[in-house]
Structure 1
Amino acid sequence: MKRIKNITRVAVAIMIGSATTIVTSCQENFLDIVPTDRVSDASILSDSVLFESYIVNRYMGTRLTDKEAEGTLPGFGRGFEYAMWSSLTDESIYNNDDNTWLIQRGQIAPENTGIAGTLWGRSYRSIREINYALANVDKVPMSQDKKNKLKGEMQFIRAFRYHDLIRNYGKVVLLGDKVYELSDDLTSQDLFNRSEIKAGIDYAVAQLDEAAALLPQSNDSNWKLGRATKGAALALKSRLLLYGASPLYNAATWQQAAASAKAVMDLNKYTLYTGGYGNLFTTVDNSEVIFSRIYAQGARHVCLEISNGPNSYNAWGGNVPVQNLVDDYEMLDGTKITDAGTSYKASEPYKGRDPRFYATILYNEAPYRGSTVQTFTPGGKDSKDGPSAWNTSKTGYYLKKFMSDALPIDNPWDVAGTQTWIYFRYAEILLNYAEAQNEAVGPDASVYAAINAIRQRTGVGMPVIPAGLTQAQMRERIRNERRIELAFEEHRFYDVRRWKIADKTENVPAYGIEIGKSGNAYTYTRKEALTGKSFAEKQYWLPIPRAEIQASNNKLDQNPGY
């Protein structure tokens, strides 16, 4: 008998986190046939073009579950997929479940992780692949400058995978540079020891410091946004240290977090996009984008327009915003809808709101593709009385953000690829700085400047934050600004956890709105759009899937409460 070691080489992950079956068989001549469906190690390490292609493909991962990354492989987040990460939060619900409701209802378990079960396996697979490349890059015939750039990219990708592990599971296993093979001793307890959160963050930050020193300020025109740069490495460092300083982590200082965000600002490379908040997400190349995923024209992936649009447009009404989010948008004059002197009128709930509301959410009577959205009953074309009633929004709202009206809803597959998925943008950095600086020293002038720049940029035009706020008052302002500015961009899930307020935000029902119409008058009745929403203390971290624990022969510790 012999093990076929090649299954772990180049494209296939190692043991930990992969739950990959170790294939064995009797030694027969047919086992020595060179496979024709993969590229050999020797070919990759002797060809600089192939090696660089290997690195580029590490920006993607493996498809590990159904309804994940149709067509093109998954990247560093849900992004362009059916159920988005927002539908595990108080931003939206996924109309057709797709294994999201169990998480919203607090039923997630090691044996049933819903859409949140692939992060551990995919991350460690990617880390092993990067370790392999780093161990062999110096064997590849190419210039030292090229090698240094690729080393920087690999350290960035590895740090991103560790960041994803840390923010979802807390303590992680740090593998260093070791490239594990099936011939190694895979039973050692050292292979499954989970380091403290601070050690994980310190390791990833050190990797990003090294990456930033090796990476260019900008890539050439062929890979301008889709590959790591110095700014991308520093942006990820900013996010990691912001998380680290937060109450759930307690693994860094607010001063460190503020300084890391300021380092990105001091590059003087990025600015806030002023062509309209909605256009920011459909304009491929703009000054606000630090790092994003670019899709090739015609490369099939989940098309957001058909996945999330209203039912009368032959769309599927996927990730539908909840009333909880709608209520947190300010009025155009800066008042909240609950303020004593608010300009909000319950009879006209969508009038005079923050311009970002109109670019993010489709509501009753919202203009859309030469018509208007009609979620009222009876007779509204985007209500249960309209066509394709099974795709009617359970909340009374549909998603507008990220959508391009230039792309078709019917049969869109051949034109997919004109939008990018943004991983880091400058507004996040300003928000990171404002939060960290406020926690470090209080609401000084630089905190106001960062928040007001976002609120007042062309295309938004919201009033400045009132002067004289206390640190606590500014904290609440900054948190709400993150909620509005970064909605649906995979931040809310982690923000409410790191602030340790998820036990409040996620134990509130997921509300929607019922709109009745009589003549020209509307009535608005709040409803519970998803029953049973619940959050328990243990859910501040995800459970490690049971299969991963079993694959370690129960040497890997589970997160508390599971």
Structure 2
Amino acid sequence: MKTMISIKRLSLPALAGAMLFSLSACDQNFLDVVPTDRVSDASILSDSVLFEAYVTNRYMGTRLTDKEAEGTLPGFGRGFEYAMWSSVTDESIYNNDDNTWLIQRGQIAPENTGIAGTFWGRSYRSIREINYALANIAKVPMSEGRRNRLKGELQFIRAFRYHDLIRNYGKVVLLGDKVYEVSDDLTSPELFQRSEIKAGLDYAIAQLDEAAALLPAANDNTTWKLGRATKGAALALKSRLALYSASPLYNAGTWQQAAAAAKAVMDLNKYTLYTGGYGNLFTTTDNSEIIFGRLYAVGARHVCLEIANGPNGYNAWGGNVPVQNLVDDYEMMDGTRITDANTSYDPKNPYKNRDPRFYATILYNGASYRTSTVETFTPGGKDSKDGPSNWNTSKTGYYMKKFMNDNLPIDNPWDVAGTQTWIYFRYAEILLNYAEAQNEASGPDASVYAAVNAIRQRTGVGMPALPAGLTQAQMRERIRNERRIELAFEEHRFYDVRRWKVANVTENVPAYGIEIGKSGSAFTYTRKEALTGRSFADKQYWLPIPRTEIQASNNQLEQNPGY
């Protein structure tokens, strides 16, 4: 699928993006040949339009594995793929595995990384490509204002790539601005020296400060309104990195710094919480809450969410299916938890009066969907194993609704569906970043309550305010659960439970589902284990560097502990 970011085929700068961290030996003579279907380096550096196309192309990466980024190049993270990043967490499982179950089961290894093996190579390739652009941008004829804006974009993208490296591997190799060529000595130890986590975070945050000073407050071209970096995008990424830095796993910054970074985005007075309904937030192309996202166009194919994740009774494939673990963490509409002594939860009617975000996120037995009702009960439920295409039946008894646009077709969606914007940063994340950091720094003051309650009470959600008088520890748990619910399936949970150092708890319990039996008009609900063998060891707080990368360094690159 094509994105709205144009793609150009490039010679050495892109090809050498097979850079040292993902490179096997290459033939220098081959690289000296300029193919006729690619734009030459000289053309890029002499034409500002081509150079800007090169820069915008850096918002995308390289397809490195099967079933990744079908039809289009990948962006940052997994995004809209068959197996989403939620399916290596306690949010969902991927029905057909696709190299996710081994991560859920704690079997990930340098030789077998499942869907988690692409971050290292793709990130360093991108960093090399960005360094090339920064090293040559002074040669390109253009106005100083345009040049500064492109510099800011390049620094933002580079910082994003380092952010992806740091949050997955911890210590990373910092390359600075150097552009390594195939002709360089690629055996030098300095190319494989991993810096401490604090150094990596400090570098990325400093890059974002510089980028924010160069980037515009908004993109004036509607085509690029969300798809290219702005000052707000740079500060939002800084907020996330500052929050990581202060968290127990990283222990490299302070909570005060994290709170100030989030407050800087809030003080822009540019973004607001979307009030048109929680579900609609993810199906509109643009709204006031989105800070930075990836836009797609009709006819530009990528994984069509509706067919990939919908129920089997609708001729869909039931891909990323929510687990009972997540369902249980949705509050009741009155603000009680289902485990509270005074809960209003009725186990005989478990989906009644839940947080409105539940209904916009998860399809459950009895949910209205399109022109029918979801039926996961047995016997006879059309979305159960008794229904059509039963090989696509959810293993958990639930299906994903978040991100799905009911106005887009499930049958034959190709080049028609898949038009949703994938949101990298939105204002609710910033408010939650602030609330968490401020609570850790100063306790649950009025500003912490205000940030969380703004999310809970906004039009379209309408949950009650948090109770007054919470202790710091109680507020911490409420904020963590608020992140779980508000940001479900948005690629936060994997990193949140690790940075909090609670993954040894959350990832060491089974992935539960529900069996629903029907007799007459009565239903019974029986908890079941949907995916066996789920397990987590402390070494998995970081991903293993793929063995091929270690071997390419002649074993000079340090592997993460335990692997």
Q: TM-score range by the shorter chain?
A: over 0.9
Quick check: 1:10–1:41 contact (8 Å CA) kept in 2?
A: no
* 1:515-526 equivalence runs, <5 A: 515-526=516-527
Quick check: 2:16–2:181 contact (8 Å CA) kept in 1?
A: no
* 1:212-251 equivalence runs, <5 A: 212-220=212-220, 221-251=222-252
Distance 1:161 1:345 in 2: 46
CA deviation after TM superposition for structure 1 residue 18, in Å: 1.4
Structure 2 residue matching 1:422: 3-state secondary structure: strand
Distance 2:499 2:32 in 1: 51
* Residue equivalent to 1:469: 470
Task: For 2:413, give the aligned amino acid.
Answer: P
Distance 2:507 2:482 in 1: 18
Is 1:18 the counterpart of 2:26? The answer is no
Distance 2:14 2:337 in 1: 54
* Residue equivalent to 1:450: 451
Distance 1:389 1:557 in 2: 46
* Residue equivalent to 1:204: 204
Distance 1:17 1:183 in 2: 15
Distance 1:58 1:416 in 2: 25
Structure 1 residue matching 2:447: 3-state secondary structure: helix
* Residue equivalent to 2:492: 491
Distance 1:530 1:10 in 2: 41
* Residue equivalent to 2:481: 480
255-264 vs 220-229, which deviates more?
A: 220-229
CA deviation after TM superposition for structure 1 residue 22, in Å: 1.5
* Residue equivalent to 1:315: 316
CA deviation after TM superposition for structure 1 residue 33, in Å: 5.3
* Residue equivalent to 1:274: 275
**Sequence identity, in percent?**
85
Structure 2 residue matching 1:93: 3-state secondary structure: strand
Quick check: 2:28–2:183 contact (8 Å CA) kept in 1?
A: no
* Residue equivalent to 1:359: 360
The gaps in structure 1 that reach 5 residues or longer are: 1-5
Task: For 1:9, give the aligned amino acid.
Answer: P
Distance 1:335 1:279 in 2: 25
Distance 2:302 2:57 in 1: 16
* Residue equivalent to 2:123: 123
* Residue equivalent to 1:112: 112
Quick check: 1:299–1:416 contact (8 Å CA) kept in 2?
A: no
Task: For 2:13, give the aligned amino acid.
Answer: R
* Residue equivalent to 1:40: 40
Distance 1:14 1:373 in 2: 47
CA deviation after TM superposition for structure 1 residue 418, in Å: 2.2
35-44 vs 166-175, which deviates more?
A: 35-44
Distance 2:191 2:33 in 1: 33
* 1:430-449 equivalence runs, <5 A: 430-449=431-450
Distance 1:423 1:240 in 2: 14
* Residue equivalent to 1:50: 50
Listed one character per residue, the Cα deviations across residues 132-162 of structure 1 (whole Å, up to 9, x for unaligned) are 0000011111100000000000000000000
Task: For 1:216, give the aligned amino acid.
Answer: P
Distance 1:418 1:319 in 2: 19
Listed one character per residue, the Cα deviations across residues 389-448 of structure 1 (whole Å, up to 9, x for unaligned) are 000000000000000001000110111342100000000000000000000000000000
CA deviation after TM superposition for structure 1 residue 34, in Å: 3.5
Is 1:74 the counterpart of 2:78? The answer is no
Distance 2:69 2:302 in 1: 7
Listed one character per residue, the Cα deviations across residues 295-343 of structure 1 (whole Å, up to 9, x for unaligned) are 1221010000000000011100000000000000000000000000100
Distance 2:511 2:408 in 1: 30
Quick check: 1:14–1:180 contact (8 Å CA) kept in 2?
A: no
* Residue equivalent to 1:162: 162
* Residue equivalent to 2:5: none
Listed one character per residue, the Cα deviations across residues 108-127 of structure 1 (whole Å, up to 9, x for unaligned) are 00000000000000000000
Quick check: 1:8–1:182 contact (8 Å CA) kept in 2?
A: no
* 1:133-148 equivalence runs, <5 A: 133-148=133-148
* 1:312-391 equivalence runs, <5 A: 312-391=313-392
Quick check: 1:431–1:478 contact (8 Å CA) kept in 2?
A: yes
Distance 1:7 1:188 in 2: 25
Distance 1:97 1:143 in 2: 51
CA deviation after TM superposition for structure 1 residue 23, in Å: 2.5
* 1:509-520 equivalence runs, <5 A: 509-520=510-521
Listed one character per residue, the Cα deviations across residues 376-395 of structure 1 (whole Å, up to 9, x for unaligned) are 00000000000000000000
480-489 vs 292-301, which deviates more?
A: 292-301
* Residue equivalent to 2:64: 64
* Residue equivalent to 1:418: 419
Task: For 2:333, give the aligned amino acid.
Answer: L
Distance 2:25 2:320 in 1: 35
CA deviation after TM superposition for structure 1 residue 450, in Å: 0.1
Q: 1:448 to 1:32 in 2, by over 3 A?
A: closer
* Residue equivalent to 1:3: none
CA deviation after TM superposition for structure 1 residue 285, in Å: 1.1
Is 1:286 the counterpart of 2:290? The answer is no
Task: For 1:58, give the aligned amino acid.
Answer: R
Quick check: 2:11–2:34 contact (8 Å CA) kept in 1?
A: no
Task: For 1:532, give the aligned amino acid.
Answer: G
Aligned residues: 553
Distance 1:530 1:356 in 2: 25
Structure 1 residue matching 2:58: 3-state secondary structure: helix
Task: For 1:297, give the aligned amino acid.
Answer: V
Task: For 1:469, give the aligned amino acid.
Answer: L
Q: 4+ residue runs of structure 1 moved beyond 4 angstroms?
A: none
CA deviation after TM superposition for structure 1 residue 11, in Å: 4.3
User: TM-score w.r.t. structure 2 length?
Assistant: 0.97
* Residue equivalent to 1:546: 547
Q: CA RMSD in A?
A: 1.1
* Residue equivalent to 2:189: 189
CA deviation after TM superposition for structure 1 residue 38, in Å: 1.3
Distance 1:44 1:490 in 2: 35
CA deviation after TM superposition for structure 1 residue 24, in Å: 5.2
Distance 1:180 1:411 in 2: 45
Quick check: 1:374–1:380 contact (8 Å CA) kept in 2?
A: yes
Quick check: 2:409–2:417 contact (8 Å CA) kept in 1?
A: no
Distance 1:132 1:416 in 2: 36
Structure 1 residue matching 2:464: 3-state secondary structure: coil
User: TM-score w.r.t. structure 1 length?
Assistant: 0.97
Structure 2 residue matching 1:13: 3-state secondary structure: helix
Quick check: 1:17–1:122 contact (8 Å CA) kept in 2?
A: no
Listed one character per residue, the Cα deviations across residues 169-209 of structure 1 (whole Å, up to 9, x for unaligned) are 00000000000001111111111000000000000000000
Distance 2:327 2:223 in 1: 39
Quick check: 2:19–2:128 contact (8 Å CA) kept in 1?
A: no
Distance 2:560 2:212 in 1: 33
Listed one character per residue, the Cα deviations across residues 431-475 of structure 1 (whole Å, up to 9, x for unaligned) are 000000000000000000000000000000000000000000000
Structure 2 residue matching 1:413: 3-state secondary structure: coil
Quick check: 2:12–2:41 contact (8 Å CA) kept in 1?
A: no
Structure 1 residue matching 2:17: 3-state secondary structure: coil
Task: For 1:378, give the aligned amino acid.
Answer: P
Distance 1:20 1:343 in 2: 61
Structure 2 residue matching 1:200: 3-state secondary structure: helix
Listed one character per residue, the Cα deviations across residues 237-262 of structure 1 (whole Å, up to 9, x for unaligned) are 00001000000000110000000000
Structure 1 residue matching 2:415: 3-state secondary structure: helix
Distance 2:151 2:520 in 1: 66
Quick check: 2:90–2:323 contact (8 Å CA) kept in 1?
A: yes
Quick check: 2:90–2:507 contact (8 Å CA) kept in 1?
A: yes
